[in-house]
């Protein structure tokens, strides 16, 4: 069973210039105990996807069709506000780029970590002990006295690790991490990623990890979902997608990635051109205008092509593309 199973998801925003089709027929799985990376340039629908899962779409947004099945039994698109609130936090938790979104500047770290456990019957001392244990797991030095300190007394890297500790404290089934290491320097990024991987294994949760950083995705994730203009253009194991990409967009991302030649890149490589206007989606392939592999079928809607076990790409040429060498 998958922790999260998304199928046929279509999200629209109403705008002054008409309906904007932000997510189109999105489908993928987040298997139990797996880390799934979501990659795609700005405006591809990553935040919309997260918000749709969390039931936090902007007022002008609407899930028009599709399913978001959580733990096989909760159909998230059908839950009431209260039911969703009860899942958010304890069962589906989040970490964002800015840890201060999760930390309250006027409460000590200990108070906040005890407060999170409000649903628990344990005594206050037990809750504090649990907080210490979590802080130790995220390698905050002198965890016991750290409980009495306030967020501003910690460095950026430590604040992010505290936010991770808070997100995982209630042992959620799913952690959604949106660019959690983007604001950190390269060394801290590596340690934070290692930590996240250790904790994920220990807790046994699934993770959806959004990142621009292809190197981090390759290191951390089991599976990867490549998004372009609100569509999943490719999905599969990191191994399959990075070694034999079947979509020209994935191939361009990998080929443009300076990490392939020298060192890691902190931003997604740039590909000439722009994402199409999502208010007037092209009839055919969404990537056609920027694609180097033009052929006759590009003006037709592209069907997801199966490239092997759980590896698929939305390009009629996928078979051919995946057999090309990935050039550095």
Ligand X SMILES: Nc1ncnc2c1ncn2[C@@H]1O[C@H](COP(=O)(O)OP(=O)(O)O)[C@@H](O)[C@H]1O
> Closest distance between ligand X and the C-beta of residue 301, in Å?
20
- The answer to whether the beta carbons of residues 11 and 65 sit under 8 Å apart is no
Return the number of the residue (109 or 253) whose C-beta is nearest ligand X: 253
Instruction: For tokens 């890149």, name the residue.
Output: 265
The secondary element (H helix, E strand) that includes residue 43 is: none
Instruction: State yes or no: residue 68 binds ligand X (CB under 6 A).
Output: no
**Contacting range for Mg ion; rule: CB under 5 A; set: 4-12, 47-55, 135-143, 309-317:** 47-55
**Contacting range for Mg ion; rule: CB under 5 A; set: 38-46, 78-86, 214-222, 277-285:** 38-46
> Closest distance between ligand X and the C-beta of residue 234, in Å?
16
C-alpha–C-alpha distance, residues 217 and 203, integer Å? 20
* 135: helix, strand or coil: helix
Return the number of the residue (57 or 132) whose C-beta is nearest ligand X: 57
In the list 43, 66, 258, 269, the residue contacting ligand X (rule: CB under 6 A) is: 43
316 makes contact, choosing from ligand X, Mg ion, none, with CB < 5 to 8 Å by partner type, with none
- The answer to whether the beta carbons of residues 4 and 208 sit under 8 Å apart is yes
- The answer to whether the beta carbons of residues 177 and 196 sit under 8 Å apart is yes
Instruction: State yes or no: residue 47 binds Mg ion (CB under 5 A).
Output: yes
Of residues 248-287, which lie at the interface with ligand X (CB under 6 A)? 278
Return the number of the residue (43 or 282) whose C-beta is nearest ligand X: 43
- Of 232, 307, 275, nearest to 66 by C-alpha is 232
- The answer to whether the beta carbons of residues 76 and 70 sit under 8 Å apart is yes
Phi, psi of 35 (to 5 degrees): -110, 120
Instruction: State yes or no: residue 42 binds ligand X (CB under 6 A).
Output: yes
**Contacting range for Mg ion; rule: CB under 5 A; set: 44-52, 53-61, 81-89, 265-273:** 44-52
Instruction: For tokens 């950190």, name the residue.
Output: 184
20 makes contact, choosing from Mg ion, ligand X, none, with CB < 5 to 8 Å by partner type, with ligand X
> Closest distance between ligand X and the C-beta of residue 23, in Å?
8
C-alpha–C-alpha distance, residues 54 and 72, integer Å? 16
> Closest distance between ligand X and the C-beta of residue 233, in Å?
13
> Closest distance between ligand X and the C-beta of residue 212, in Å?
10
* DSSP single-letter state for residue 15: E
C-alpha–C-alpha distance, residues 234 and 83, integer Å? 32
Number of residues engaging ligand X in binding (CB under 6 A): 16
Return the number of the residue (212 or 311) whose C-beta is nearest ligand X: 212
Full 3-state SS string of 217-257: HHHHCCEEEEEECCEEEEEEEHHHHHHCCCCHHHHHHHHHC
Phi, psi of 231 (to 5 degrees): -120, 150
Return the number of the residue (41 or 109) whose C-beta is nearest ligand X: 41
Return the number of the residue (3 or 48) whose C-beta is nearest ligand X: 48
| Interface with ligand X (CB under 6 A) | 13, 15, 20, 22, 40, 42-48, 58, 60-61, 278
């Amino acid at each position: 069973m998958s922790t999260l199973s998304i199928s046929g998801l279509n999200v629209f925003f109403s705008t002054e210039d008409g309906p904007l089709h932000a997510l189109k027929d999105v489908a993928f799985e987040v298997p139990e105990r797996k880390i799934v990376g979501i990659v795609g340039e700005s405006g591809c629908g990553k935040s919309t996807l997260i918000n749709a899962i969390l039931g936090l779409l902007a007022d002008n947004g609407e899930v028009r069709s599709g399913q978001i099945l959580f733990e096989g039994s909760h159909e998230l698109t059908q839950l009431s506000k209260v039911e969703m609130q009860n899942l958010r936090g304890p069962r589906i938790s989040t970490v964002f780029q800015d840890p201060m979104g999760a930390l309250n500047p006027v409460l000590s770290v200990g108070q906040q970590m005890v407060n999170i456990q409000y649903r628990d019957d344990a005594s206050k001392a037990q809750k504090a002990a649990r907080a210490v244990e979590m802080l130790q797991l995220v390698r905050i030095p002198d965890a016991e006295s750290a409980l009495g300190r306030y967020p501003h007394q910690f460095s950026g890297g430590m604040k992010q690790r505290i936010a991770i500790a808070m997100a995982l404290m209630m042992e959620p089934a799913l952690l959604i991490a949106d660019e959690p290491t983007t604001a950190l320097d390269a060394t801290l990024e590596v340690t934070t990623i290692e930590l996240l991987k250790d904790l994920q294994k220990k807790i046994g949760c699934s993770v959806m990890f959004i990142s621009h950083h292809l190197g981090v995705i390759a290191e951390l994730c089991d599976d990867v979902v490549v998004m372009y203009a609100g569509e999943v253009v490719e999905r599969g194991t990191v191994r399959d997608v990075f070694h034999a990409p079947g979509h020209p967009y994935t191939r361009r991302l990998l080929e443009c990635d300076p990490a392939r030649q020298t060192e890691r890149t902190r931003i997604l490589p740039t590909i000439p051109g722009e994402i199409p206007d999502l208010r007037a989606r092209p009839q055919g392939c969404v990537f056609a205008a920027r694609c180097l592999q033009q052929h006759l079928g590009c003006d037709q809607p592209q069907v997801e092509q199966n490239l092997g076990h759980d590896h698929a790409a939305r390009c009629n040429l996928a078979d051919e593309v995946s057999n090309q060498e990935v050039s550095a």
